[in-house]
């Protein structure tokens, strides 16, 4: 009559393990956000996108980054998927609900987490339309071309090169001719020249549009809520939250959440006001 312990042998993921995974993936995504936000600050340089685009070029072409990018998308999907799975099992734990809505003092962030998560997902589609899909080629945007590439083709494709020459200085050192339109891209591609998205001008153009700016502000408010709860929750889930450090974690969470969200939104606002 010994209690059946066979469930211990099954490859079952227990609730806490799922939560730890969600938390770990969340931590990874948070780091990415911090990284992304820091990089965005480069947009604020009035250098015609020299630094920012150089960074984007690196990110777009370096092979390890490419691998990480796949990891990032996988993490995002897994993070959301596991969270939804947990939410469904959690919902099942109370088949009949209460008549009176709950009035306990709680962390609202947690109750919103699922919805802020879904909103973030929706907003990401907007964000992708603005930026990421340009890279893939699903959406038209701003482009840039490297003069080094063009110089190589001077002999075979004079038309393309002269087209580019009209736009900017052609030098053998490899500077970028940026702010090209989709039509320009078509011409260049016809000539067989590799074109890259010009996120600097893309961003500066998008962030001049009022409704887009508002959309982004809303987006980051949602992100704020999601991070605000998520940051402390990660510590809690990883078992690092205790009597000694609870205050420190709270403060750190505030700094991180506000930091990331402010970095993103300042860039958007400064560009909008033309600063």
Q: Which is nearer to other proteins, 171 or 254 (CB)?
A: 254
- Please state the closest distance from residue 257 (CB atom) to other proteins, in A: 15
Q: What is the DSSP letter of 249?
A: H
Task: Identify the three-state secondary structure at position 146.
Answer: strand
Task: Establish if 142 lies at the interface with other proteins (CB under 8 A).
Answer: no
Closer Cβ to other proteins, 46 or 244, answer by number: 244
Site string for other proteins, 2-21 (x = CB under 8 A): xx-x-xxx----xxxxxxx-
Which of 199, 200, 235, 272 is in the footprint of other proteins by CB under 8 A? Answer: 235
Site for other proteins in 18-77 (CB under 8 A): 18-20
Question: CA dist 254 to 132, 234, 258, Å?
Answer: 29, 14, 6
| CB of 114 vs other proteins, minimal distance in Å | 8
Pick out residues in 86-115 that bind other proteins (CB under 8 A).
86-87, 89-107, 110-111, 113
Q: Strand, coil or helix: what is 179?
A: strand
Cα separation, 177 vs 242, whole angstroms: 54
Nearer to other proteins, 81 or 137 (CB): 81
Is residue 208 at the binding interface for other proteins, with CB under 8 A as the rule? no
Task: Count Cα neighbours of 198 within 13 Å in the Cβ-side half-sphere.
Answer: 24
The arrangement of strands across the sheet holding 176-180 comes to 176-180, 143-146, 196-197
Among 74, 240, 248, 251, binds other proteins (CB under 8 A): 240
- Whichever of 156 and 242 has its CB closer to other proteins, that residue is 242
Give min distance, CB of 92 to other proteins, in A. Answer: 7
For residue 180, what are the β-bridge partners?
143
Q: Which residue has the tokens 């989709």?
A: 182
Nearer to other proteins, 185 or 229 (CB): 229
Integer Cα distance of 142 and 161 in angstroms:
18
List the structure tokens of 272: 């909008």
Task: Give the residue with the Cβ less far from other proteins, 101 or 274.
Answer: 101
Complex with other proteins: residue 96 or 173, whichever CB lies closer: 96
Q: Is residue 191 a contact partner of residue 153, using CB atoms and an 8 Å limit?
A: yes
Q: What share of the chain is helix, strand, coil (3-state, %, to 5)?
A: 70, 5, 25
How many residues make contact with other proteins (CB under 8 A)?
Answer: 51
To other proteins, the closest distance from the beta carbon of 196 in angstroms equals 42
Indicate whether 254 belongs to the interface with other proteins (CB under 8 A): no
Based on the shown chain and the rule CB under 8 A, indicate whether residue 241 belongs to the binding site for other proteins.
Answer: yes
Q: Which of 121, 238, 258, 273 binds other proteins (CB under 8 A)?
A: 238
Neighbouring residues of 115: CB distance < 8 A, sequence distance ≥ 6: none
Q: Which residue intervals of 105-245 are DSSP H helices?
A: 108-127, 133-136, 147-152, 158-167, 182-190, 199-206, 210-237
Interface ranges with other proteins (CB under 8 A): 1-3, 5, 7-9, 14-20, 86-87, 89-107, 110-111, 113, 229, 232-233, 235-243, 246
């Amino acid at each position: 009559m010994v209690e059946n312990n066979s469930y211990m042998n099954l490859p079952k993921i227990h609730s806490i393990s799922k939560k730890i995974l969600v938390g770990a993936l969340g931590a990874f995504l948070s780091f990415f956000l911090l990284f992304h936000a820091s990089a965005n600050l480069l947009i604020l340089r009035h250098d015609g996108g020299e630094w920012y685009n150089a960074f984007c070029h690196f990110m777009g072409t370096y092979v390890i980054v490419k691998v990480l990018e796949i990891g990032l998308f996988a993490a995002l999907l897994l993070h959301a998927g596991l969270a939804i799975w947990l939410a469904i099992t959690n919902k099942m734990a109370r088949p009949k609900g209460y008549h009176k809505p709950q009035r306990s003092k709680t962390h609202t962030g947690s109750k919103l987490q699922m919805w802020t998560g879904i909103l973030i997902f929706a907003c990401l589609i907007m964000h992708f339309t603005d930026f990421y899909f340009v890279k893939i080629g699903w959406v038209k945007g701003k482009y840039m071309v490297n003069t080094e590439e063009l110089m190589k083709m001077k002999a075979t494709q004079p038309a393309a090169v002269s087209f580019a020459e009209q736009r900017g200085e052609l030098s053998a050192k490899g500077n970028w001719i940026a702010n090209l339109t989709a039509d320009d891209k078509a011409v260049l591609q016809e000539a067989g020249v590799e074109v890259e998205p010009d996120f600097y001008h893309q961003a500066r153009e998008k962030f001049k549009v009022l409704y887009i700016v508002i959309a982004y502000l809303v987006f980051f408010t949602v992100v704020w809520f999601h991070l605000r709860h998520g940051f402390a929750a990660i510590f809690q889930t990883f078992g690092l939250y205790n009597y000694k450090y609870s205050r420190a974690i709270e403060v750190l969470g505030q700094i991180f959440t506000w930091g990331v969200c402010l970095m993103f939104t300042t860039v958007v606002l400064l560009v909008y006001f033309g600063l």
